Amino acid sequence: MSQTALTNVILALVTTKKDSVGGSCPIFYCTDDDDLQKTSLYLEKILDAMAHEVKPGVMMMVKH
């Protein structure tokens, strides 16, 4: 089974801090930490990507 996928690319950002993110990739704004964890978990399962915490309140979805 050969699979073509974008790897090592930021697929999405999830954050509670609107001011600390920007750019061209999809950004999901969350209300609090629980919401952040939940959204990141869903995105991780949907995108088959890994959620990395860059700093408190900012998660980055990367497919490896």
Q: Does 6 bind another protein (CB under 8 A)?
A: no
CB of 30 to another protein, least distance (A): 13
Question: What is the Cβ-side half-sphere exposure of residue 11, based on CA atoms within 13 angstroms?
Answer: 19
Contacts of 27 (CB under 8 A, 6+ apart): 12, 13, 14, 15, 21
Q: Does 53 bind another protein (CB under 8 A)?
A: yes
Window 21-50: residues binding another protein (CB under 8 A): 37, 40-41, 44-45, 48-50
Size (the chain), residues? 64
Rank residues 32 and 48 by Cβ distance to another protein and give the closer one.
48
